[in-house]
């Protein structure tokens, strides 16, 4: 299915938006750093930069070929098999090393740029969850696996004419799986990757003592976290509007609504989290409110181009109420040590946004299309991700040795701290 050609003005607008979208990456990197410990801050931020670079390189050399945006796979071609008389397009087949990029349609080039940014953001999500214990080389290797294989596979299925995008044409399920802003390809995949990394690397030392409740390990810099949220807003607005143009084929009239819905969803989410944490703890919690804000943005990634403003507020409210509750369940009941809250924010937020897009879409069958897409990511891509990461961990252990955790990842991996004038003190939470 060939998308309609973009008018020049819309092309220019989308390009400008995509040049603003990296602010979302900067925001997430700052949030990850602020939610980690002070003795791992430089490693966290340098790791984010390294992961961004590795993701982009690996995607450009290998991954883009399997995503299939460029000539060779244009118009949804690629590797297809027939099952029950229907074509199942399962893998893109573009040239390696971005061959044909210069001669590709401008719209295909924009789509490729969108995917480059998506793969860079994706790599940062498991990195935040592995904060304070995962080595930088392991973080880069995880990002490389995501960029070379897992992201291209899902991005092709959902964005570039793959079988999930064709659910509408082949099975009459609405407009096919809808994911304008990367709620599935970036956030759900990233959140599930984060869960796999946490399971493999294990919790931070002292997080879950033999007796008693989990130890609280608050983030070291609330200013980074909240400023990261504000930066992320700019990037997210650009991301969702550009995604609505490229993947939902939105008209100019619908683009401002997409941006308004993004803003409403995030605002409703942070207000809801503020209220829940105030009721629950007596005072609002900065890091949980930041997670709520981000969960609202993530949920809007799926549905901002589809829902009405009232529905966007509802989506944000549910995301904001659910975030602090799920963070608590994961930590206290399920022994999952997720410093950045990626599973709650990205996996659960993305999941809710994708369901909401199906619930509120005008087309019949859209909800079933969304559920099939979710079933694919959860039932097929997650076990595959865990298997690949477990294999990778055999050759390149994710976790730093206990000395690294004790002195901090900055000194261990970089030989110097982010705040050299601070005295490193013994952590009382170690038992």
Q: Which of 374, 400, 409, 418 binds other proteins (CB under 8 A)?
A: 374
The terminus-to-terminus CA distance of the chain in angstroms comes to 59
Among the listed ranges 6-14, 60-68, 305-313, 380-388, the one in contact with other proteins (CB under 8 A) is 380-388
Closer to other proteins by Cβ: residue 1 or 390: 390
Among the listed ranges 296-304, 373-381, 408-416, 422-430, the one in contact with other proteins (CB under 8 A) is 373-381
DSSP assignments along 314-332, one per residue: HHHHHHHHHHHHHHHIIII
Closer to other proteins by Cβ: residue 13 or 371: 371
**Interface with other proteins includes 171 (CB under 8 A)?**
yes
Contacts of 246 (CB under 8 A, 6+ apart): 14, 107, 110, 111, 114, 159
Residue 148 CA to residue 145 CA, distance in Å, equals: 5
Q: Which of 5, 218, 309, 383 binds other proteins (CB under 8 A)?
A: 383
Q: Which of 379, 422, 429, 430 binds other proteins (CB under 8 A)?
A: 379
Helix (H, G, I), strand (E, B) or coil at 282: coil
What value, to the nearest 5°, has the Cα angle with vertex 270 and ends 267 and 271? 85
**Interface with other proteins includes 91 (CB under 8 A)?**
no
Residues constituting the chain: 431
Residue that has been written with the tokens 């392991």 in this structure: 138
**Contact, 110 vs 11, CB < 8 A?**
yes
**Interface with other proteins includes 334 (CB under 8 A)?**
yes
Binding mask 67-86 for other proteins (x = CB under 8 A): ----------------xx-x
Dihedral of the CA atoms 361, 114, 97, 99 (nearest 10)?
A: 80
CB of 334 to other proteins, least distance (A): 6
**Interface with other proteins includes 407 (CB under 8 A)?**
no
Among the listed ranges 73-81, 228-236, 253-261, 361-369, the one in contact with other proteins (CB under 8 A) is 361-369
CB of 217 to other proteins, least distance (A): 17
Q: Which of 97, 230, 332, 380 binds other proteins (CB under 8 A)?
A: 380
**Interface with other proteins includes 431 (CB under 8 A)?**
no
Tokens representing 74 are: 């244009």
Residue that has been written with the tokens 């507020």 in this structure: 313
Closer to other proteins by Cβ: residue 149 or 227: 149
Residue 88 CA to residue 353 CA, distance in Å, equals: 26
Element (H, E) at 134: none
**Contact, 243 vs 357, CB < 8 A?**
no
Identify which of 324, 413, 392, 419 has the alpha carbon closest to the alpha carbon of residue 132: 413
Identify which of 219, 251, 296 has the alpha carbon closest to the alpha carbon of residue 35: 219
**Contact, 88 vs 79, CB < 8 A?**
no
Q: Which of 365, 407, 419, 424 binds other proteins (CB under 8 A)?
A: 365
CB of 379 to other proteins, least distance (A): 3
Tokens representing 109 are: 């080039």
**Interface with other proteins includes 199 (CB under 8 A)?**
yes
CB of 275 to other proteins, least distance (A): 29
Q: Which of 310, 387, 396, 422 binds other proteins (CB under 8 A)?
A: 387
Contacts of 418 (CB under 8 A, 6+ apart): 38, 41, 42, 45, 410
Q: Which of 244, 317, 367, 411 binds other proteins (CB under 8 A)?
A: 367
**Interface with other proteins includes 354 (CB under 8 A)?**
no
**Contact, 144 vs 58, CB < 8 A?**
yes
CB of 417 to other proteins, least distance (A): 30
DSSP secondary-structure letter at 81? E
Q: Which of 15, 275, 372, 388 binds other proteins (CB under 8 A)?
A: 372
What φ, ψ does residue 134 adopt, rounded to 5°?
Answer: -90, 135
**Interface with other proteins includes 335 (CB under 8 A)?**
yes
Closer to other proteins by Cβ: residue 16 or 380: 380
**Interface with other proteins includes 208 (CB under 8 A)?**
yes
**Interface with other proteins includes 286 (CB under 8 A)?**
no
Residue 245 CA to residue 9 CA, distance in Å, equals: 12
CB of 364 to other proteins, least distance (A): 8
Binding mask 31-70 for other proteins (x = CB under 8 A): ----------------------------------------
Strand partners, 79: 91
For other proteins, the binding residues (CB under 8 A) are 83-84, 86, 167, 171, 199, 202-203, 208, 210, 334-336, 364-365, 367-368, 371-372, 374-376, 378-380, 382-383, 386-387
């Amino acid at each position: 299915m060939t998308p309609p050609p973009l008018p020049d003005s819309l092309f220019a607008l989308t390009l400008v938006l995509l040049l603003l979208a990296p602010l979302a990456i900067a925001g997430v990197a700052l949030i990850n750093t602020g939610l980690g410990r002070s003795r791992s801050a430089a490693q966290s931020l340098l790791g984010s930069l390294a992961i961004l670079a590795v993701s982009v390189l690996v995607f450009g050399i290998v991954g883009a070929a399997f995503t299939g945006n460029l000539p060779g796979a244009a118009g949804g071609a690629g590797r297809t098999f027939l099952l029950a008389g229907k074509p199942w397009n399962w893998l893109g087949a573009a040239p390696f090393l971005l061959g044909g990029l210069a001669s590709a349609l401008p719209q295909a080039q924009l789509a490729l740029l969108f995917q480059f940014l998506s793969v860079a953001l994706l790599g940062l999500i498991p990195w935040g969850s592995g904060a304070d214990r995962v080595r930088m080389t392991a973080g880069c290797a995880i990002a490389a696996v995501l960029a070379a294989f897992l992201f291209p596979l899902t991005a092709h299925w959902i964005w570039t004419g793959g079988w999930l995008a064709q659910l509408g044409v082949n099975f009459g399920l609405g407009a096919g799986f809808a994911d304008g802003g990367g709620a599935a390809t970036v956030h759900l995949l990233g959140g599930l990757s984060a869960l796999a990394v946490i399971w493999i690397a294990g919790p931070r030392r002292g997080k879950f003592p033999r007796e008693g409740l989990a130890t609280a390990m608050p983030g070291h810099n609330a200013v980074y976290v909240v400023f990261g949220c504000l930066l992320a807003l700019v990037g997210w607005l650009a991301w969702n509007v550009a995604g609505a143009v490229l993947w939902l084929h939105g008209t100019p009239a619908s683009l401002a609504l997409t941006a308004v819905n993004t803003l409403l969803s995030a605002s409703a989410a942070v207000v809801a989290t503020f209220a829940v944490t105030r009721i629950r703890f007596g005072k609002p919690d900065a890091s949980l409110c930041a997670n709520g804000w981000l969960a609202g943005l993530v949920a809007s990634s799926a549905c901002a181009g589809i829902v009405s403003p009232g529905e966007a507020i509802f989506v944000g409210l549910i995301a904001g109420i659910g975030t602090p509750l799920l963070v608590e369940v994961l930590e206290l009941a399920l022994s999952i040590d997720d410093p950045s809250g990626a599973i709650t924010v990205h996996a659960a937020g993305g999941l809710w946004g994708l369901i909401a897009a199906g619930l509120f879409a005008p087309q019949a069958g859209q909800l079933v299309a969304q559920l099939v897409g979710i079933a694919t990511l959860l039932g097929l891509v997650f076990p595959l991700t865990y298997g690949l990461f477990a294999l990778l961990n055999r050759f390149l252990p994710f976790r730093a040795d206990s000395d690294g955790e004790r002195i901090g990842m900055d000194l261990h991996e970089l030989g110097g701290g982010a705040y050299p004038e601070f005295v490193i003190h013994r952590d009382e939470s170690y038992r």
